[in-house]
Amino acid sequence: MAILPIYLDGTEPLRKKAKPVKELDMNTIALIKDMFDTMHAADGIGLAANQVGVLKRIIVVDISSLEDTKDIKPFALINPEVISKAGKCTMEEGCLSIPSVRAEVVRPDKITVKYRDSNFNEQQIVADGILARVILHEIDHLDGVLFTDYVPKSKLKEYKELLEKIKNGDIEIKYPVVTNQRVLL
């Protein structure tokens, strides 16, 4: 088990586009396992490879801690791609890379996503509600997009000081992180 430090807002990998995974080698298998460990250690419900500083198109999702979705087993999505979307819904979001900041974001309500599973087999999933929300949030990470990019500047003002602190590494967080200034283990 390896818990990797999570890159915070202000670090480079969060703004880079991750590259498709071509084959499932030992490194990728180990990375996926470490991503699950890292997400669980931080009490997260989703994590993208960019957030651990790796530019591969891999996300992990675990919403089994939520009452309504406790039967959905944790799963990894390699090279996820939204192939259809419908509706719109507003939900409050947070992010392990932007701790303590929460804001409402409008996203599609229902999506169909094509991906490869942790055995590299092709899969397709239809998701709505919180599952769709987490998958869309994490796919955004793979494209260098953060949820705060959708939040109006007037609303982000509330968090100005906190966002500055995150960017300057001037924060205390209960999981290991990499800030733009230093690594905090």
Q: Applying CB under 5 A, which residues contact Ni ion?
A: 95
Q: Which of 81, 122, 138, 164 is catalytic?
A: 138
Strand partners, 91: 105
Q: How far apart are CA 148 and CA 155, in angstroms?
A: 10
Q: What is the DSSP letter of 126?
A: E
Q: For Ni ion, give the closer residue by CB, 21 or 135.
A: 135
Q: For Ni ion, give the closer residue by CB, 31 or 95.
A: 95
Sign of CA dihedral 9, 10, 16, 20: negative
Q: For Ni ion, give the closer residue by CB, 6 or 78.
A: 6
User: Are 46 and 60 spatial neighbours (Cβ–Cβ below 8 Å)?
Assistant: yes
Q: Strand pairing of 89-93 and 46-48? A: unpaired
Tell the burial category of 171 from Cβ atoms under 10 Å away from its Cβ (0-12, 13-18, 19+). Answer: middle
* Closest approach of Ni ion to the CB of residue 65, in Å: 16
User: Are 95 and 64 spatial neighbours (Cβ–Cβ below 8 Å)?
Assistant: no
SS3 137: helix
| Residue 67 is a catalytic residue | no
* Closest approach of Ni ion to the CB of residue 137, in Å: 5
One-letter amino acid at 112 equals: T
Q: What is the DSSP letter of 144?
A: T
Task: Write down the residue that tokens 């460990």 correspond to.
Answer: 37
Q: For Ni ion, give the closer residue by CB, 31 or 105.
A: 105
Q: What positions carry a catalytic annotation?
A: 138
